[in-house]
Amino acid sequence: MSSLSPSSTHSAIPKIRAGEGQIVVEFDPYRGHTFPHLSYTYPLKLLSPTSPEHPVAIVYVLSYGGGLVGGDEVGLEVAVREGASLMLLSQVRS
């Protein structure tokens, strides 16, 4: 049984702190909008429905449970590559 160090198994995935998220969206003429990187940590949650017929990539920015409470902080880093389009939507309380 071999053992890999954590740095060698996760070196390509940048570490993010609690409540942070990262989105990278690009457009390929054959595959449409894709997310080469989409990550988040609690209490932030990112959902992206996939549909090739949409002319824009969509990401819902959500939080777990009853929403954010005192002391919660969220941060989001977004990169939209050339030729791509992104719509960010937030949750609404009804």
Residue 31's pLDDT is 87
The answer, yes or no, to whether residue 7 has pLDDT greater than 50, is no
The 3-class secondary structure across 15-51, one letter per residue, is CCCCCEEEEEEEEECCCEEEEEEEEECCCEEEECCCC
- What pTM was computed for the model? 0.74
Q: pLDDT tens digit string along 64-82?
A: 776 677 777 789 999 999 9
Segment 25-45 shows an average pLDDT of 91
